[in-house]
Amino acid sequence: MPSPRPSLRHEKLCLAPVAGVDEAGRGPLAGPVVAAAVILPAKGVPRGIDDSKKLSHAERARLHDRLRDCAVIGIGVVEAPEIDVLNIYWATMKAMTLAVEALGCAPGHVLVDGNRLPKWGHSATAIVSGDAISLSIAAASIIAKHTRDTIMLAHAEAHPHYGWHSNKGYGAPEHLRALAEHGPTPLHRRSFAPVAAAFSKIESLVPHTIA
């Protein structure tokens, strides 16, 4: 029996306009964390919107373009150096805040995927597994995932050793092997354990000057 698709059940209980918010990129070793905020149109919502993890790359790309044409969208990006300063949790909260601010209008309510909310002044609800339940959050998951994937594909051209064309910065075997062989790039998150270990290895190979 197929699992039910996301619906507007939660949105209908909230003050309009309702923005769904989700992020992509909490777990990778390299690249930014990206959040998206999406206010769906009252009519003409594209068919097929679902949790981005359940969709193929082609389906995400198609729905991304359709949503760009009909929805109000905000994007928030926090790069690796700031992730290392804030830690990934607070970097994600900042990306979500930036995404809502980028909408260009004040939402009546915000639905956020997960169990925590950013520290902001918006009326908001956190929904665990919201991308599988709320249509607005599912739409945000598609925008966030496709946007981050596009960023990592561009970076893959400049850093071909790490397999970012396929792993998008996650700790896949190819990525870990390249990290050990070639060392980290400026796009790597130094605070993440495999990257920190690679930096330590490099530092151990640098001759120390004796005063």
Taking CA 25 as the corner, what is the angle to CA 177 and CA 188, rounded to the nearest 5 degrees? Answer: 45
- CA angle 77/169/154 to nearest 5° reads 65
Amino acid identity of residue 195, one-letter, is: V
In Å, what is the CA distance from 111 to each residue of 18, 126, 208? 7, 6, 53
State the Cα–Cα distance between residues 23 and 113, nearest whole angstrom: 8
- State both tokens at 88: 């990934």
Is 101 annotated for ligand binding?
no
Annotated binding-site residue? 11: no
Cα separation, 58 vs 93, in Å, equals: 28
Collapse the DSSP code of 129 into the 3-class scheme (helix H, G, I; strand E, B; otherwise coil) and give the result: coil
Q: What is the DSSP letter of 134?
A: B
Q: Which two tokens stand for residue 32?
A: 């930014």
Q: How far is CA 106 from CA 73, 74, 80, 188, in A?
A: 12, 11, 28, 34
- CA dist 101 and 89 (Å) reads 19
- Continuous segment of H or E residues that includes residue 110: strand 109-113
Does the annotation list 113 as a binding residue? yes
Indicate the annotated binding residues for a divalent metal cation. Answer: 22-23, 113
Indicate the annotated binding residues. Answer: 22-23, 113
